[in-house]
A and B are shown apart, each in its own frame.
Chain A
Amino acid sequence: MPTISVKYRDLCELLGRRVRWGSLKRSLMMMGIEAEAAGGELKLEVAHNRPDLLSVEGVARALRGFLGIEVGLPNYGLKNSGVVVRVDRSTRGVRPYFAGGIVEDVKLTDASVAQLMQVQDKLHETLGRDRRRVAIGIHDLDRVRPPFRYTTVSPEGVRFVPLDMDRELTPAEILGEHPKGVRYAHLLQGFDRYPLIVDAKGNVLSMPPIINGELTRVTAGTRRLFVDVTGTHERAVNQALVILMTGLAERGFKLGSISVKYPGRSLRVPDLKPRRKRLNVRAANEMLGLKLRVREAAEIMRRMRFGVVGARGDSLSLLVPPYRTDILHEVDLIEELAVGYGYDRLKPTLPKVATVGERHPLEALSARVRKVLTGLGFLEVMTFTLTNPRTNFELMRAEGEAATIANPISEEYTILRTWLIPCLMSVFRENKLHPLPQRIFEVGDVVLLDEGAETGARDVRRVAAAAVGDVGNFTYIKAVAEAVLRELNVSYEVKPLEHPSFLEGRAAEVVSEGKRLGIIGELHPEVILNFELEHPVAALELDLQAG
């Protein structure tokens, strides 16, 4: 979940009143925001689907409603700024969508500049999918002259000073030298022209999605902002713009729209029109187990910052604020109703749903096997199914194929185990300084490649047991295997087996109804030494779902 940090004072100023930290924290929690205080800063953890809460302004807006300070749909004035942005056809292949807007009467402090950077970063991370889907640029409008052009340029086709540099670079040089260029170069890989935003005189505002020009850097002295949003997903581009601009409006700044002219179509952005949605209060009550009247529901929804424009029968007609990108379905409104009502006020009820509990047969079998082996004095161990070819094959003198992780976390966990005995050997290695004899077992799954299986691999439940020390011999482990098989009512035969992991002439397979059920044997001296052990080891491994 994304986390933002905000200043307590800043938040209270935006709320228009001072709320004690304890009660603030509790309100935030009941809105679904986890809050921690750390040295004058508040760390807020916000849900993935609520990009509108990624700024202190957005959080304050929601809190004002929740606390009843200001309810209903927020009203944002929007003037036509007259600014035009032309979108060049050449952007279509690399980054086709553009949106933007103007913010006037701006009064920034160091704190609000920091918030502006933060919301930009957080929108990049979440809605923007790390700038791939959406990238945002914020500029000092007074340093450049509209109309602007969203176009493309060849890697060496222009030179400008990027942010945080003191010399002019070409786009290719930026990708090679500028820290942001290096970090995001992969987004432009394979393209021979890069996106570029220029003003009427050809000054570079930005090279999306990489970096802005130093020319339009925003400072505490900036009075008018130009916001650009580019991307590959039109809906997300517009959502990011709306969330950013309405947040700024919460500080009392004035918003201005611009005209975006694509070849063959033109539109006015940002679009701050609320969406109309219906909420059926009866359906909501049924879902939540409440008996709210329509009027009560309307009041709650206004506290959640929805507009209520009418009620007909059980149905409320709502206006959804443009920044609420998470409202996809009526259930999303019902959840808002529940949050507004207060999760802490919902009394738990327990319905009767008549069903009979039943253990999974494989788990029932596993439990029986555990009982037999603990009865024989074996200790259960639990190891990871993730392993590596060295442990699973090489140290065991074995070969084979295994399901393989494409993006492993470490060299230790690159494949899925195909048998349990290597895991038990690793446990013996971990315990080699402890007294002998040791008897251990594991009941667990292995993963076998199988073209016939739906995913190409299937899990098999197995049991393996092993003994080291004077009990590490064939006779003993065979007796253990037979005790398990007898307890499970399996009829079986024991046949000689040649297996590289075991001593020649001291390995066997257990066969039942023509199928191999498992193996038993004394481990090969090389295997014992490979696992850094110095005493004889015998082991068994049986399938629990062969039949």
Chain B
Amino acid sequence: MDLEAVVKSMGTHERKVLLALQQLGGEGDIADVAGRAALEPATAMRAALALQGLGFIRIEERKRTLAAATEEGLAYAKDGLPERRMLRSLLELGPCTPEEAASRAGLTEGQMRIALGWLRRKGWAVFIKQAGRTMLAPTRDGEAAAGKKQQDEELLELLALKSVEVEELPSHLRSELAVLARRGLVEVEQRVQRRLALTEPGERALALGLELVEEVSELTQELLVSGRWREVKFRRYDVAAPGPQLVPGRLHPQQEIIEELREILLEMGFVEIKSNLVESEFWNFDVLFQAQDHPAREIHASLSLSKPGRARLPEALVERVASAHERGVAGSTGWGYKFDADISRRPVMCSQTTAATIRYLASHPKPPAKVFCLGRVYRHEKIDYKHLAEFYQAEGIVMDEGLTLRDMLGYLKLIINKLGFERVRFRPGMFPFTEPSVEADVYHPRRREWIEILGAGMFRPEVLRPLGVRCPVLAWGIGLTRLIAMRLGLEDIRDVFCNDLRWISRTTKLKPSGG
């Protein structure tokens, strides 16, 4: 920055200090400068430091030992030391009792005792016996001392005028300093003295001319309305200084990714449906051609309910499903066991959102249809860094005449690409309700590995026929926990439900590549 710009950007305080220093001849104590600039010493010092930073002045610091009179010392300097005042009385009264002398001198009892001590020590008075009474009488020294200032008195008077640097005291007075200090009449202290001195750039800055304008910190209504804002100077802020932190209201990071997925599916023309948290075993398993003794239905796989107790079922559909299980349907062998509708009526925590898409097909058996469901599902899992008992699943179906397995892969690839994964790989999978079945893996560039992301397939005829559906239905499901954890950079999947408010307010989702 050139000098002119620097001078222009200087604040009022800095200008005042610089001008004051100039008036003091280019050099002066900070106290003197502050006085001249009409600033508080602390304000002047801050400005001085700023000026030093600009290179306009030098600040020299010097440690000094100062001697100054105390309050008591100041009083004695005015009225005289107690022993001096007592001596004066004695000389006026002649030998008398101490009390008489003190009373004449106007001393308190305490001061009288001090005076007696010092009269003796200085040899100005002695006690004598006179007519059986103890009297105080001035000595010759005392008479000689009358009207003649002693060194200690001289020093006290000097220090009463102003504090003096010990080293500058005349040598004959310096020895008295300790005595007066012991008497508590004088204080000796260390002080740092700051002297300011103009530098050559400072002088050049002054030569450019410093205008003094009023500086304000805030723009007020008064300033705006009165038009005074034109005349004042606004204090410059240190714009890089750290300020308070604000936390905006925001969505939970998991919710953000769920919303993103919802948008993707809506864009693709899928209609959203809702799942039930509490389902019957019929809709959760039976309709999906999962045999009633299938391992996935055992007590350790899903969460069953003791309350409510029984669900109502669509009886006609139950019969068709039962016969598909027992004897098969549409050319299938079936499972060859005895179907039990009591099992179907048991309520269970929804373990797959497929229950919702199947309910939709049961009431909308005619093509075309594209629906999806984003909902919570439940598993009988001990919760740890890899497992949750309650988590989100996304599920979708496409129903139309003539759909093929390759079409299935086409939808999957599109959804996965839209989620931000570029490379996808398909391999055979196994689900009780689809045939053929597919598993899809995505390539995670940061981790450099393939990660299983979704399962899909075409609903089996044993599933569709009892519902009255006659054309192919493509179905896919994504357990969202792993996907969400990946997008949020979480290792422990429990953290997708993290409610640490600092985390929620600071977390942003990552691109799958980590970029």
Contacts and interface: CB of A to CB of B under 8 A. Distances in A.
Interface of A: 1, 29-32, 47-50, 126, 129, 133, 233, 235, 286-290, 328-332, 334-335, 338-339, 343-344, 346-351, 353-360, 362-363, 367, 370, 373-386, 401-410, 413, 416, 427, 430-431, 434, 438-440, 445, 447, 449, 451, 454-459
B251 A331 contact: no
B269 A363 contact: no
B435 interface: yes
B427 interface: yes
B168 interface: no
Contacts of B271: 355-358
B277 A445 contact: yes
A405 B304 contact: yes
B499 A344 contact: no
**Chain B interface main SS type:** mixed
Interface string B280-307: 1000000000000101100110011111
A152 to B, nearest CB: 23
Contacts of A288: 404-406, 436
A445 B405 CA distance: 36
A353 B368 contact: yes
Nearest to B505: A379
A407 B267 contact: no
Contacts of A355: 269-271, 368-370
Given A351-B402, A351-B403, 13 more contacts: A133-B293, A233-B337, A331-B460, A353-B368, A356-B271, A359-B266, A381-B252, A383-B499, A405-B304, A431-B499, A438-B501, A455-B347, A457-B308
A349 B406 contact: yes
Most chain A beta-carbon neighbours within 10 Å: one of B295, B333, B383, B405 = B405
A48 B380 CA distance: 19
Nearest to B250: A374
Interface in B181-223: none
A334 B299 CA distance: 33
A407 B299 contact: yes
Interface stretch (B31-39, B155-163, B410-418): B410-418
Given A129-B295, A287-B458, A349-B406, A406 B305 contact: yes
Interface string B311-337: 110000000000000001011111011
A424 to B, nearest CB: 9
B427 A29 contact: yes
B49 to A, nearest CB: 33
Interface in B32-55: none
B299 A456 contact: no
B248 interface: yes
B432 interface: yes
B254 interface: yes
Given A380-B255, A457-B278, A404 B306 contact: yes
Contacts of A351: 400, 402-403, 407, 410
Most chain A beta-carbon neighbours within 10 Å: one of B336, B400, B436 = B436
A385 B307 contact: no
A370 B499 contact: no
A381 B255 CA distance: 9
A229 B59 CA distance: 102
B247 interface: yes
A359 B272 contact: yes
B429 interface: yes
Nearest to A447: B277
Contacts of A409: 303, 380-383, 389
B404 A455 contact: no
B390 interface: yes
Contacts of A456: 278, 307-311, 347
Nearest to A438: B501
Interface in B431-472: 432, 435-438, 458, 460-462, 472
A350 B414 contact: yes
Contacts of B368: 353-355
Nearest to B504: A379
Given A403-B305, A430-B499, A454-B312, A331 B267 contact: no
Given A381-B499, A382-B252, A335 B428 contact: yes
A469 B288 CA distance: 51
Contacts of B278: 403, 416, 447, 455-459
9 contacts: A348-B407, A349-B406, A359-B262, A406-B304, A430-B499, A440-B501, A445-B376, A454-B280, A455-B280
B252 to A, nearest CB: 4
B274 interface: yes
B497 interface: yes
Contact of B250 (A289, A359, A380): A380
B327 to A, nearest CB: 11
Interface string B466-509: 00000010000000000000000000000001011110110000
B151 interface: no
Most chain B beta-carbon neighbours within 10 Å: one of A233, A353, A363 = A353
A467 to B, nearest CB: 12
A455 B308 contact: yes
Given A32-B427, A351-B400, A357-B271, A404 B266 contact: no
B376 to A, nearest CB: 7
B501 A431 contact: yes
Given A287-B472, A288-B405, A379-B504, A335 B276 contact: no
B333 A328 contact: yes
A456 B414 CA distance: 39
Contacts of A406: 303-306
B330 to A, nearest CB: 7
Contact of B262 (A363, A402, A413, A445): A363
Contacts of A287: 404-405, 436, 458, 472
Contacts of A49: 430, 432
Contacts of A359: 262, 266, 272
B404 A289 contact: yes
A354 B293 contact: no
Contacts of A440: 501
A342 B369 CA distance: 29
Contact of B251 (A126, A286, A354, A374): A374
A47 B430 contact: yes
A235 B291 CA distance: 14
Contact of B497 (A31, A383, A405): A383
A289 B407 contact: yes
Contacts of B425: 344
Contact of B279 (A381, A438, A451, A455): A455
B179 interface: no
B334 A328 contact: yes
A403 B307 contact: yes
Given A32-B428, A383-B499, A331 B436 contact: yes
Contact of B266 (A289, A358, A386): A358
